[in-house]
Structure 1
Amino acid sequence: MKLNVIVPLCALITLTQQAPSSETCFCEFTNSERAFPHDKLSTAEDSASRCNTNITPQKTLELESLMLGLERRLPRLEEDVATLEREDDGELYGVISLQVVQNELADIMELITRLNNTTLEHQRLTHVTTTKLKDLKAEMQELETFDTMQVVRGKLDNQRLRTDLDQCRNTVHDSTNTSNSPQVSQGDCPHGQFRNISGPRVSTAGEYPGSYKYGAWGRDPKPEAGKESWHWLVLLTSANKHSNYVRLYSSLSALIGGVSTPGNVLIHTANPTTNTIQGPNVVMYRGALYYNCYNQDEVCRFNLTSKTVANMKLPKGTRYNSKGNFCHLDECYPFTDLDLATDESGVWVTYTTKQDFGNLVLSKVEDDEQLRLGQTWYTSVYKQGVTNTFMVCGVLYATRFVDKETEEIFYSFDTTTGKENFNLGIFIRKMYPNILSLNYSPVDQMLHAYCDTYMVSYKVLFS
């Protein structure tokens, strides 16, 4: 029975295999999309990578450093030539002075040669990079035409939406924090736009002329009732590095005349010790002194009424103990790692961290009952190319040393928009070579500078 079933099946299979095919069926597939040019994408990625490698902040800093070096050497050469003219008696003194001038000229010629080479290299690099960027833009625009499913465009739209959402959240957060106080919000300046600095309005040696090179002075933007005209002074009395008290004056005239009332308010009897002052960059706000705590990467707040100290730890990697100072070509200012500042909106702190490669970091200090760090911004300006910073209406300003008579406000960072400006060109006429601390007072729109044992003030001019 089984055999009878198998035989017909075998016959059927054979018949099917032997039957010729009368028609051939073709399935034609046509791809309407162009083949994606992966080689062009790879070329564009390589070009972008080379641009990132060739264009670095260090190249700009190199040119700026050479320019500043030349600016410093030329006045020195003029002084040496004047000395030669005074001392030239045709004999020994003239020969020595001439040798000094020749050495200065040789150094200047070397600087000019390096500057010319660097400038030519920058011009070549700019030309090449501009051409590459134009080509890269054209290639990317061509590659965008392959995005028929709008995937990349959708991602970009989503990214923009996320950015707008973050800004909205920050705005709500800031308005919540300031809703109970009359403080001016960041970027909203009641005085107008910061335009310039006046000449020196006040210059005084105070009570201790020539005694303490490093220090700071100013006014409390939010003083207690009855203390609206008070001024404060901090002198680094221990090796130009540390202090353990703040000195108070009932008025500006009292400070100039050296009449201190009520006198010193001690943080601690020892100097230095835990929670005493380290470095000159201190400020007063709401009856409390803000400063860099001794031997710590922390901000201290000393309440002058209760005599209590609150501490706030800065982010991990923050440089302290004179490892992240303000500098210019000739020297660095020791223990200026942290710079406290006040403006219309409160207290701020600038510092550097290991992970930010020495660039300035700016944070808002929230002066609640519990001292804490608020929002943080990251800048592109290198700390050691800066001599001081201060805040005006939520905008960070940085200065640099030009010469013994001039300091330049060259940089700004707007915390509202995130925009940086490296070319402000606002000059401060100095009465003494070094501005060792700089504080803005929103009470009277004055800049209070401590300069080589002298106290000097300037008026901030708004449009």
Structure 2
Amino acid sequence: MMFLLLLLVGPAHAWVSLEDWGSGSVEGSVGEFGQCVCNVFLPDTTFPADRMENMQTSSNDLSIEVKLQINKVISLKGQLSVLLSELSNLTIRLEVLESGPDKYIKLEFELLRIELREFEALVTQLKLSLNFSSPAIESLYAEIRNMSSIVDQLESYDKSNLEVIRIEFAKLQKKLEKCQDDREDVSNAQIGSCKHRGILRMGKPIISQLNANLNSGYKYGGWGKDSSPVSGSEDMYWYAGAADTLFSTVTLYSDYYKLIIRQAYQTNQLYVAYKYDWRGSGNNYIVRSNALYYQYNNPFSMAKFNLTSATVQTKVLPEATTRFSYHYSPNQNLDFAADESGLWVTYATEASNGKLVLGKIDENSLELQEVWQTSVFKQSVTNAFMVCGVLYATRSVDTMTEEIFYTYDTNTDKETYVSIQFEKFQDFYVYLDYNPADQRLYMYNNGYYVYYNVKFRDA
């Protein structure tokens, strides 16, 4: 006999048949009063509340994530609008510049503003290096702010007013250099004199600016002054830079101000297709007596490029090898240096097993007059320079610190291990050379012009 179980469900007392419960198991019997009694064994129909809760939590998390992504898209859209606006502005400025030579005045005013900001940065650095302020420094700040106001006012006038600004800039530059020369770390020895006992310490790095190419990718190169300038070129600066260790251009500037505003008076090309290839490699070149001394690329040799006649003279060093370079970068095989006593070159040979060899150069013939063998391994050295016949070799201490750790005195044939630490502007540098004409150490530091004042030990 088939039993029918009827259940009351909810307040409406809806009737539900046993068949509606699916595959439940039913057992029947007769009660003590003769009624039918049914026992129903139903499958587990418990509602999965825990899974529902997890689903709701996940849904909420996804909703929040979607909102965050939407906000990011909105933010990026705003940034894109700003960038498009700046691009449009640059396009307009370029069209103005291209419309006629007289429109270049706008560019010159922009450069002046850039230089004013650089002046302000230099004065700030000077103040920090001195650890105190002074009336002179405060006066410089006031003059820089005044110059900014003058630039804004004169921009609406004719181009002749640029000369007024240049004169004011020259005055400001001289005052800035005077403040720098008054610092404690400026040289205490007479220019050209070797009446001292070598380097005592280095001043703080003085950062002029990014290279003339305005390209941070130009990490290889050098800059500085002529170490023995001809008459009329005492204030001249030079610069050579490239994106790799092969360089082909040397640019000259009449003075420091022209270097800063990137107004060259002469550019020398060491390579002209189908005519000549005088290119060099490495970064350790110098300018002396209006000639560039550098490592000739092919064949590997010493080279002297006359900056006046644009002619080149080369000399092979049979013993020199290209197998050992300085620690920081490749192809730095011939390192030229100048000091109070003349012109030098450092290199390594197979016979020396990679240890530094130092040679004194005859500037006319490029012959080596004398050679000294050191005991320091070249690949452990980051760079080297000469002061008063003494070779100074450097190495890296950390990303912000360099150390002069070794010296070789050609006057006494004595070598010494020392520790003279100095600060780097940035970690990577490829050029470091001393200039006896102003007793400064010039560094090309990750694409930036940097120099140091040198303090000597008293005699």
TM-score bracket for the superposition, by shorter chain length: 0.5 to 0.7
Mapping of 1:86-105 within 5 angstroms?
Answer: none
Question: Which residue is 1:440 aligned to?
Answer: 434
Question: Which residue is 1:208 aligned to?
Answer: 213
Cα distance in 2 between the residues matched to 1:290 and 1:263: 17
Instruction: Name whichever structure is richer in helix by fraction.
Output: 1
Mapping of 1:35-184 within 5 angstroms?
Answer: none
Question: Which residue is 1:146 aligned to?
Answer: none
Residue number among 311, 327, 351 corresponding to 2:314 in the alignment: 311
Question: Which residue is 1:285 aligned to?
Answer: 288
2:333 matches 1:337: yes
Question: Which residue is 1:297 aligned to?
Answer: 300
Judge conservation of contact 2:207–2:448 (CA < 8 Å) in 1. Answer: no
Cα distance in 2 between the residues matched to 1:280 and 1:446: 18
Shift of 1:421: 0.8
2:263 matches 1:259: yes
2:274 matches 1:246: no
Question: Which residue is 1:38 aligned to?
Answer: none
Residue number among 401, 425, 430 corresponding to 1:406 in the alignment: 401
Cα distance in 2 between the residues matched to 1:271 and 1:205: 33
Shift of 1:453: 0.8
| More displaced 10-residue stretch of structure 1: 386-395 or 264-273 | 264-273
Judge conservation of contact 1:345–1:393 (CA < 8 Å) in 2. Answer: yes
Cα distance in 2 between the residues matched to 1:452 and 1:226: 31
Judge conservation of contact 2:207–2:425 (CA < 8 Å) in 1. Answer: no
Helix, strand or coil for the counterpart of 2:351?
helix
Do the aligned partners of residues 310 and 425 (structure 1) sit closer, same or farther apart at CA in structure 2, a change above 3 Å counting? same
| Matching residue's letter, 2:194 | C
Residues 41-90 of structure 1 show CA distances to partners (whole Å, capped at 9, x for unaligned) of xxxxxxxxxxxxxxxxxxxxxxxxxxxxxxxxxxxxxxxxxxxxxxxxxx
Residues 336-392 of structure 1 show CA distances to partners (whole Å, capped at 9, x for unaligned) of 111111111121110000010010000011102x22111000000000110000000
Judge conservation of contact 1:206–1:256 (CA < 8 Å) in 2. Answer: no
Helix, strand or coil for the counterpart of 2:204?
strand
2:448 matches 1:454: yes
Residues 223-249 of structure 1 show CA distances to partners (whole Å, capped at 9, x for unaligned) of 121110000111135xx0212221011
Residue number among 220, 230, 234 corresponding to 1:228 in the alignment: 234
| Matching residue's letter, 1:462 | F
2:363 matches 1:375: no
2:411 matches 1:416: yes
- Structure 1: segments with no counterpart, 5+ residues: 1-182
Shift of 1:273: 6.6
Judge conservation of contact 1:405–1:429 (CA < 8 Å) in 2. Answer: yes
| Matching residue's letter, 2:388 | C
Report the TM-score when normalising by structure 1.
0.55
Cα distance in 2 between the residues matched to 1:223 and 1:389: 22
| Matching residue's letter, 2:252 | L
Question: Which residue is 1:58 aligned to?
Answer: none
Judge conservation of contact 1:283–1:340 (CA < 8 Å) in 2. Answer: yes
Judge conservation of contact 2:223–2:240 (CA < 8 Å) in 1. Answer: yes
Question: Which residue is 2:8 aligned to?
Answer: none
Residue number among 203, 210, 217 corresponding to 1:198 in the alignment: 203
Shift of 1:432: 0.6
Shift of 1:270: 4.1
How many residue pairs align between the two structures?
266
Judge conservation of contact 1:312–1:373 (CA < 8 Å) in 2. Answer: no
Shift of 1:274: 4.0
Judge conservation of contact 1:202–1:458 (CA < 8 Å) in 2. Answer: no
Question: Which residue is 2:179 aligned to?
Answer: none
Runs (4 or more) in structure 1 with deviation over 6 Å come to none
| Matching residue's letter, 1:220 | D
Question: Which residue is 2:223 aligned to?
Answer: 217
Question: Which residue is 1:392 aligned to?
Answer: 387
Cα distance in 2 between the residues matched to 1:257 and 1:457: 18
Cα distance in 1 between the residues matched to 2:232 and 2:274: 31
Judge conservation of contact 2:238–2:250 (CA < 8 Å) in 1. Answer: yes
Helix, strand or coil for the counterpart of 1:356?
coil
Do the aligned partners of residues 431 and 247 (structure 1) sit closer, same or farther apart at CA in structure 2, a change above 3 Å counting? same
Do the aligned partners of residues 454 and 190 (structure 1) sit closer, same or farther apart at CA in structure 2, a change above 3 Å counting? same
The percentage of aligned residue pairs carrying the same residue is 39
Please provide the CA RMSD for this pair: 2.0
2:364 matches 1:361: no
Cα distance in 2 between the residues matched to 1:288 and 1:351: 20
Judge conservation of contact 2:210–2:448 (CA < 8 Å) in 1. Answer: yes
Question: Which residue is 1:142 aligned to?
Answer: none
Report the TM-score when normalising by structure 2.
0.56
- Structure 2: segments with no counterpart, 5+ residues: 1-190
Judge conservation of contact 1:324–1:384 (CA < 8 Å) in 2. Answer: yes
Helix, strand or coil for the counterpart of 2:219?
coil
Cα distance in 2 between the residues matched to 1:397 and 1:347: 15
| Matching residue's letter, 1:443 | A
Residue number among 327, 338, 351 corresponding to 2:347 in the alignment: 351
Do the aligned partners of residues 435 and 228 (structure 1) sit closer, same or farther apart at CA in structure 2, a change above 3 Å counting? same
Do the aligned partners of residues 264 and 386 (structure 1) sit closer, same or farther apart at CA in structure 2, a change above 3 Å counting? same
Judge conservation of contact 1:244–1:269 (CA < 8 Å) in 2. Answer: no
Helix, strand or coil for the counterpart of 1:384?
helix
Cα distance in 2 between the residues matched to 1:233 and 1:272: 24
| More displaced 10-residue stretch of structure 1: 338-347 or 264-273 | 264-273
Residues 11-46 of structure 1 show CA distances to partners (whole Å, capped at 9, x for unaligned) of xxxxxxxxxxxxxxxxxxxxxxxxxxxxxxxxxxxx
| Matching residue's letter, 2:198 | Q
Cα distance in 2 between the residues matched to 1:302 and 1:226: 19
Cα distance in 2 between the residues matched to 1:431 and 1:405: 7
Question: Which residue is 2:127 aligned to?
Answer: none
Judge conservation of contact 1:215–1:450 (CA < 8 Å) in 2. Answer: yes
Helix, strand or coil for the counterpart of 1:431?
coil
Shift of 1:277: 1.2
Shift of 1:462: 1.2
Instruction: Name whichever structure is richer in strand by fraction.
Output: 2
Cα distance in 2 between the residues matched to 1:307 and 1:205: 27
